[in-house]
Amino acid sequence: MSSVSSYFNRNRPQSVPQGPTQIEITNALKPLFAYFDDNFAIMNQTLTSAAMIMVMSRLWKEVLVTIEVLLVPPLSDKLSQQRPLTQQELDIVFKWLQLLFDFFHAVDDETGEANGVPLDVLKSPKYHDIQSLNFFYFESTENLIRTSERMASATAARQQAHRNRLSAPASLSSPSFGGAAGLMGMPSTRRSKSIMLSRNLGTMKKAKEEKRKEAQADPNDDMILRILRMRPEAEKYLKDRSRQKERLAAAAAAEMIVRQSLVAGGGRMLGATPRR
């Protein structure tokens, strides 16, 4: 990816009356595509199709990280020395992203069948975060701070609602009792565990998919904060927002410790049987 990262340094004239053509933008990636093709051909001789897709998927994650680094600095509460891209440079990066996306998806021109990384892997939360940069990149600092505050409030509300659900008392009518409850037609503890395990295995993929969709539908403000690192006027807000995140994280960690302690204590009480 070094050839991609150094593209701007090699092609940045003092004045840019006209941007590079689509052919020039594509040609900048040709050495990278040739490198991928050569290595994929070698791996394809020894790896199974599933293993090949797994390798390509992991490589796609590295591609997204590299694209991300071109656009914004890492998350921090301090200003960055990284220079924001111009509109023309931003357009080039997103054209690169689309070219790389199509390359890894590997759709056959004749059959239309995708032979590469599946769309649900390509369109990961990281991919959607990068896409959001295209929307926020040139927003005014005032609008970015306002949007960050709104996202932070929404995130805090979701986390609180999630904690409230976790801390809700279990239903007393839950069919998880053995002994006399089994005689009354209620399933035994062993059977209940088997049912729960079966349900967990049956819904694991669905839960993972819902979590992925939730991450895409509810973006946090990290990307906005990374843009703000390149805005000197946002220095105070970056520090304030960082302290706020630290307080929320500490409170959530403390609450988790208390909840785990209560659950562990309850388990010991239920496990203790009186001696006769």
Q: CA 163, CA 249: separation in Å to the nearest integer?
A: 13
Rounded Cα gap, residues 40 and 42, in angstroms: 5
Pairwise CA distance, residues 253 & 6, whole Å: 42
**What DSSP string runs through 199-223?**
HHHHHHHHHHHHHHHHHHHS--SHH
Stronger pLDDT, 156 or 64, i.e. the higher one: 64
In this prediction, residue 260 has a pLDDT band, given cuts at 50, 70 and 90, of confident
Tell me the mean pLDDT in the region 6-25: 71
Give the CA dihedral 132, 133, 134, 136, nearest 10 degrees.
90
Q: How many C-beta atoms lie closer than 10 Å to residue 182's C-beta?
A: 16
- CA dist 3 and 8 (Å) reads 10
| 156: Cβ contacts below 8 Å, ≥ 6 apart | 248
Angle CA(197)–CA(180)–CA(171) in degrees, nearest 5? 55
How does pLDDT run across 197-249, given as a tens digit for each residue?
Answer: 555 666 665 655 555 555 445 557 999 999 999 999 999 999 999 998 888 88
Q: 239, 77 in Cβ contact below 8 A?
A: yes
Phi-psi region of 106 (alpha: psi -120 to 50; beta: other; left: phi over 0): left
- Note the pLDDT tens digit of each residue in 149-182: 998 888 778 777 776 776 665 554 444 444 444 4
Give the model's pLDDT for residue 195: 54
Are the C-beta atoms of 227 and 136 separated by less than 8 Å? yes
Residue 186 has a pLDDT of 45
| pTM for the model | 0.70
Give yes or no for a contact between 96 and 26, defined as CB atoms under 8 angstroms apart.
no
Distance CA 111, CA 89 (A): 35
Judge whether 216 and 128 are in contact, CB under 8 Å. yes
45-54, 121-130, 143-152, 165-174, range with the lowest pLDDT: 165-174
Helix residue ranges, H only, the chain = 2-5, 7-10, 22-27, 30-44, 49-71, 87-105, 119-122, 125-136, 141-167, 180-183, 189-217, 222-228, 235-271
